[in-house]
Structure 1
């Protein structure tokens, strides 16, 4: 059943397209056919998982798989860290909530998924899945082979791995294709972090794993569209074919597991450091803001400022105005800090304090690497692979940040425009 809240979400869709058109390097070259194609792909992918016969079986399978991975990871974590990792407690527990230690019960998942992803790539399973998505994007959105492959790889591996996979074609990419690769990298998340996000939300969001997985997949065509609006492709350029069979390789299964684990360890260390520093910075900022007098009876905090700035955007996604301030704050946290902190805070919102529909929409809006910290990662990571184009990357990365951030908002708007009955609400 179509409701006013669904029309409200269409405002967010129109807003994202308008902002990117205003940022466009050629406003006369608006890609109307690509717009229709990208929206159709997004709607089709969401309907495929949540609206087709047997979809609930697939959703349950995704959630069960995540639960299985979490349980298996817990065995390893408990073996290494004992009771701190959730094992048998050596003393009587009076506060069960204090047993959840983020560093021991969420971050280890990234190690396991990173190693598993590398192993599945070595066994060509993930490569076949990636090729399938690459061909889908190639056929439906007219991407060149190299760009289509980079977009597909972004969904499962991440924003730095995708240029490594098409490294042989980086010098051939046009400005538009390079910008597209950056935007899609910022609009999606890596497979290693998807499971961590699902674990954070599973207690407060039904089918959390399925929503997180779909969010990253569906935001890829949104990133493609917005990138093409901001930096349109010139006629006759791009379209290089990529050889799917001769890319990222491992010497053996053990080599894949070892290198995947080391890559995951790098991600875990980076996330841990960023969480410590940014949470500390927020505390410092709130301390500095305490010198100002209270506003409307409450102290001035970073949380309140971000909520006030981003609450109108949250409303356009289809969120009730009563919850828009909290949702806007989470959008601000995602952009200014990281999506990891935003997901942690979304998961900490009490079950009755936010509706399931708002929590679901925010899951899609937050599920992307578009934050200020990722700007540095993008410039440094891609600058190493393309030193001759480092200046060009620096010149476009801030526009890419805006487009990547709005891509997840576009995805949230698409989901919000669909009847809530489709998702069981």
Structure 2
């Protein structure tokens, strides 16, 4: 029965994307089908095979080792608080971002990451039926982050039509930057983080190619990546360390604000109607949680966490999932976990629009106008990934 519901769920997600399409007759379903098949193959390998377990296990061990090195720096500054049972989320989860950001800077400086990004992007462009620029941008977003990636293509931003600009922004919202992957792995299982990263890469193209179909001619498909201004090694290192610290501070500030606001709204709803705001959201999202594989007995609670991610951010939702409030089955936990691994939330609209506007004001205004459509598409990507995992788990 789960397979029947799961297949219906995938068809519903794709149908919703098609109904929202701005060019229904231009949708090319062949690359869409190919990418969905690839999602199932890669998802199955990562979650259900010895090879997948080996790859994810080593990936997780690598990050655990890096987080151990990060703890040495944090303990030096905070006097061993990281090993204290009373240590905070900020110290344990967010501050390691500083060290991971420094490593990304080093790999950028040595030209290792650009080579990887362009290589994977080139291979993706052979599969997804889109341009080299779109493929590069999707991979770069997963490494550099949803705002930083636009700096590398700033020369082309002003020349892009609205349709291509939408796809670039959709990729940035559907992925997550490598600098915070370690933080996710401390709240949910590494296998779910890695699986979501891979599936979202294809899911972003699947949904974008349905919602926003277009043709790119060979003359238009020019990838001109702007290399960062060459700095000395220690100039670069200092800049990336500060960037990582800013990310940690920004995430901490958003968590304080969103958690407090949700608590207040929950209190108001409970006092007024006897049901919390998150419970109301749970009932709204429950049907979608159900069609991607969550049993109906757990759908309202699962829907509540999914909705919390959209209205606040993934960190707030992951904290709720990793707490003791809910006791989900293993399959439901997997479905919710992969759903949470993306930047699909309201605050990302402002972050992406602001990043583009800082480089090109006119295009930034264009992004702001289709901001809600971006969030709509990125949320469908999350549901698509969750649905695939629901079928193969």
Question: TM-score, normalized by length of structure 2?
Answer: 0.94
Structure 1 residues not aligned, in runs of 5+: 88-95, 202-207, 295-299, 421-425
- 1:21-100 correspondence to structure 2 within 5 Å: 21-50=18-47, 54-86=51-83, 96=85, 99-100=86-87
Which 4+ stretches in 1 moved above 6 angstroms?
Answer: none
Return the alpha-carbon distance in structure 2 between the equivalents of residues 40 and 78 of structure 1. Answer: 46
User: 2:92 — aligned with what?
Assistant: 105
Return the alpha-carbon distance in structure 2 between the equivalents of residues 152 and 370 of structure 1. Answer: 17
Question: TM-score, normalized by length of structure 1?
Answer: 0.87
Where 1:159 maps in the other structure, the secondary structure is coil
Question: Is 2:371 the counterpart of 1:397?
Answer: yes
1:334, distance to aligned residue in structure 2 (A): 0.6
Which of residues 122, 125, 131 in structure 2 aligns to 1:144? 131
Whether contact under 8 Å (2:270, 2:277) holds in the other structure is no
Q: 1:308 to 1:355 in 2, by over 3 A?
A: same
Return the alpha-carbon distance in structure 1 between the equivalents of residues 306 and 76 of structure 2. Answer: 37
Q: 1:146 to 1:236 in 2, by over 3 A?
A: closer
Where 1:54 maps in the other structure, the secondary structure is helix
Question: Is 2:209 the counterpart of 1:228?
Answer: yes
Question: Is 2:210 the counterpart of 1:210?
Answer: no
User: 2:162 — aligned with what?
Assistant: 175
Per-residue CA deviations over 1:258-287 (Å, capped at 9, x if unaligned) read 121111122111111111111111122122
Return the alpha-carbon distance in structure 1 between the equivalents of residues 199 and 18 of structure 2. Answer: 21
Return the alpha-carbon distance in structure 2 between the equivalents of residues 238 and 39 of structure 1. Answer: 29
1:332, distance to aligned residue in structure 2 (A): 0.5
User: 1:204 — aligned with what?
Assistant: none
Whether contact under 8 Å (1:12, 1:409) holds in the other structure is no
Per-residue CA deviations over 1:279-315 (Å, capped at 9, x if unaligned) read 1111221222233243xxxxx1112111111111111
Whether contact under 8 Å (2:155, 2:224) holds in the other structure is no
Of residues 32-41 and 179-188 in structure 1, the stretch that sits farther from structure 2 once superposed is 32-41
Return the alpha-carbon distance in structure 1 between the equivalents of residues 67 and 363 of structure 2. Answer: 41
Return the alpha-carbon distance in structure 2 between the equivalents of residues 253 and 27 of structure 1. Answer: 50
Whether contact under 8 Å (1:379, 1:390) holds in the other structure is yes
Question: Is 2:170 the counterpart of 1:196?
Answer: no
- 1:348-363 correspondence to structure 2 within 5 Å: 348-349=323-324, 353-363=327-337
Whether contact under 8 Å (1:138, 1:148) holds in the other structure is yes
Return the alpha-carbon distance in structure 2 between the equivalents of residues 361 and 71 of structure 1. Answer: 29
Of residues 65-74 and 53-62 in structure 1, the stretch that sits farther from structure 2 once superposed is 53-62
1:103, distance to aligned residue in structure 2 (A): 1.0
1:8, distance to aligned residue in structure 2 (A): 2.1
Whether contact under 8 Å (1:119, 1:257) holds in the other structure is yes
User: 1:205 — aligned with what?
Assistant: none
Return the alpha-carbon distance in structure 2 between the equivalents of residues 10 and 248 of structure 1. Answer: 45
Per-residue CA deviations over 1:314-362 (Å, capped at 9, x if unaligned) read 1111111111111100111011111111111111146x81112111111
- For this pair of structures, how many residues does the alignment match? 393
Return the alpha-carbon distance in structure 1 between the equivalents of residues 336 and 301 of structure 2. Answer: 10
Whether contact under 8 Å (1:154, 1:190) holds in the other structure is yes
CA-based RMSD: 2.0
Where 2:104 maps in the other structure, the secondary structure is helix
- 1:288-299 correspondence to structure 2 within 5 Å: 288-294=268-274
Return the alpha-carbon distance in structure 2 between the equivalents of residues 335 and 105 of structure 1. Answer: 24
Which of residues 289, 299, 302 in structure 2 aligns to 1:324? 299
User: 1:90 — aligned with what?
Assistant: none
1:47, distance to aligned residue in structure 2 (A): 3.8
Question: Is 2:250 the counterpart of 1:276?
Answer: no
Of residues 35-44 and 47-56 in structure 1, the stretch that sits farther from structure 2 once superposed is 47-56
Whether contact under 8 Å (1:156, 1:191) holds in the other structure is yes
Per-residue CA deviations over 1:202-223 (Å, capped at 9, x if unaligned) read xxxxxx2232123123202211
